[in-house]
Amino acid sequence: MVPFKVKFSPGQSIFDQVVFAAIKSILAGELKAGEPFPSVRTLALDLKIHPNTAHKVVQHLGEQGWLVVQPKMGTVVAQPPKARAADRKRVLEHDVEKLVVDAIRVGASVTEVKQAVESAFIDLRGLKAIANE
């Protein structure tokens, strides 16, 4: 069984959505380091995605350091890779700017955006607390 949920939304690539869901569940602590990651076959059948897409997802997560292949265990979740300074900069500057531009365009205020960001943080942390119990 695939230990995370993907609710596919239109207009985004299936690959991106599955990768995002996997990373989110690792960061939220639902999938812990050392736990087995679902096989390509399981991913494809459970999420109803093309096996080639499932293969690409596993390969990509491996390349990015989210998964490692362990002898006899197969593919397992790695310790979350250390963030590079460049990634941090990209998120805090470019991605935030993009969020702000979008927010202005749809008429959301600073307070609304702050609240939304905070509650997203809390949601993810909350998942971690539940998963650790």
Partner 1 sequence: MIIETNHVAKRFGRFEAIEDLSLRVPEGSVFALIGPNGTGKTTTIRMLMNILRPDRGDITVLGTPSRQLAPKDFERIGYVSEGQKLPEGLTLAQYFDFLRTLYPSWDASLEKEMCAQFELPPSRKLKHLSHGMRMKTLLVGALAFRPKLLVLDEPLSGLDTLVRDEVVNGLLQQAADTTILISSHELTEIETFTTHVAFMQNGRLLIQEAIETLQQRFRAVSVTLSAVKALPDPLPADWLLPQIEGHRLRFITSNFEGDQQVYQQLTQHFGAVKMECEPMALRAIANALMQQRKRNLQR
Does 34 engage in binding with partner 1 (CB under 8 A)?
no
Length of the chain: 133
Q: Is 1 in the site for partner 1 (CB under 8 A)?
A: no
Cα separation, 41 vs 43, in Å, equals 5
Is 121 an interacting residue with respect to partner 1 (CB under 8 A)?
A: no
Residue from 23, 27, 45, 68 binding partner 1 (CB under 8 A): 45
Among 1, 7, 10, 111, which residue interacts with partner 1 (rule: CB under 8 A)? Answer: 10
User: Could you give the 3-state DSSP secondary structure of residue 79?
Assistant: coil
Positions 47 through 76 that interact with partner 1 (CB under 8 A): 47-53, 55
CB of 73 to partner 1, least distance (A): 23
Q: Which of 41, 88, 114, 125 binds partner 1 (CB under 8 A)?
A: 41
What is the per-residue burial (b if ≥16 Cβ within 10 Å, else e) of 33-64? Answer: eeeebbebeebbeebebeeebbebbbebbeee
Distance CA 133, CA 115 (A): 27
> Applying CB under 8 A, which residues contact partner 1?
8-14, 41, 44-45, 47-53, 55, 101-102, 105-107
